[in-house]
């Protein structure tokens, strides 16, 4: 490297600043008694379908809001709003992730203090969203069966930052080369304490178990 060139680790500085904003946001939500769930997955894994199935089962127990993130679309927020749930669409304008400042803007727009539970549907991506703390109380991700059972080894950071993994489209296992035991082994290698739920948004299989778990986590956070 030339003596006339300075190297600045920009990414490290950005992430450090984000951690501070995220910590402040988490403290604010704890005080408001609002449980924020950061839901991550690849495009097509079933994030919005999972959000709709989840809110349908919890809307009698909690006041629920949804933050939908996309590069340039209103489609997901419109789907959620059609079910009677308050939703805000957050367009990132090309960014492949949300950071804590972006989430803070979304929470201000929806009025986070008015909700017990807010589901944040992050941008569809298994790389960038895992690198940024959003200020959520819970990181969760969805892996759909057609994506394959090798993803924990290909995207270890995503699986390591998530406390719970939902295996969606579990009803299609017989049609794909998906080894459920191999997948769980891969998850446990990078995150031994991770909780797994087998679900199908098409048939409803496993959704009640996931919702019951989420309900207890929300109550504990907001107590």
Give the domains, in start order, of the chain with CATH numbers: 10-222 (3.40.50.300)
In terms of pLDDT, which residue wins out, 169 or 3?
A: 169
139-172 pLDDT tens trace: 999 999 999 999 999 999 999 999 999 999 999 9
Residue 131 CB neighbour total at 10 angstroms: 15
Q: Which pLDDT band holds residue 95 (cuts at 50, 70, 90)? A: confident
Q: Is the pLDDT of residue 1 over 90?
A: no
Q: Which pLDDT band holds residue 84 (cuts at 50, 70, 90)? A: very high
Q: Is the pLDDT of residue 46 over 60?
A: yes
Residue 160 CB neighbour total at 10 angstroms: 15
Task: Supply the pLDDT for residue 76.
Answer: 86
Task: Supply the pLDDT for residue 72.
Answer: 65
Q: Is the pLDDT of residue 69 over 70?
A: yes
Mean pLDDT within 13-31: 89
Question: What predicted TM-score, i.e. pTM, was given to this entire model?
Answer: 0.92
**And the tokens for 105?**
């803007």
Residue 184 CB neighbour total at 10 angstroms: 17
**Cα(122)–Cα(135) distance, rounded to whole angstroms?**
13
Task: Supply the pLDDT for residue 96.
Answer: 81
Query: Which of 176, 189, 190 lies closest to 148, judged by CA?
Result: 176
- How far separated are the first and last CA of the chain, in Å rounded? 55
Strand segments, DSSP code E, in 45-204 are: 64-70, 86-91, 117-121, 138-144, 164-168, 195-198
Mean pLDDT within 78-100: 87
């Amino acid at each position: 490297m030339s003596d006339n060139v300075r190297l600045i680790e920009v990414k490290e500085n950005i992430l450090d600043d984000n951690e501070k904003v995220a910590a402040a946001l988490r403290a604010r939500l704890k005080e408001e008694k609002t449980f924020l769930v950061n839901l991550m997955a690849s495009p097509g894994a079933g994030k919005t379908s999972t959000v709709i199935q989840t809110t349908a089962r919890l809307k009698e127990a909690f006041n629920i809001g949804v933050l939908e993130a996309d590069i340039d679309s209103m489609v997901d927020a419109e789907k959620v709003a059609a079910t009677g749930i308050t939703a805000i669409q957050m367009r990132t304008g090309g960014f492949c992730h949300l950071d804590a400042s972006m989430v803070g803007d979304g929470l201000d727009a929806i009025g986070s203090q008015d909700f017990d539970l807010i589901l944040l549907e992050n941008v569809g991506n298994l790389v960038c969203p895992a690198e940024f703390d959003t200020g959520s109380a819970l990181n969760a991700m969805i892996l759909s069966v057609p994506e394959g059972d090798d993803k924990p080894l290909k995207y270890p950071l995503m699986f390591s930052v998530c406390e719970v993994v939902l295996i969606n489209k579990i009803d299609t296992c017989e049609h794909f080369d998906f080894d459920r035991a191999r997948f769980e082994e891969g998850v446990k290698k990078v995150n031994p304490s991770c909780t797994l739920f087998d679900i199908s948004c098409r048939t409803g299989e496993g959704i009640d178990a996931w919702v019951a778990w989420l309900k207890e986590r929300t109550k504990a956070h907001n107590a």
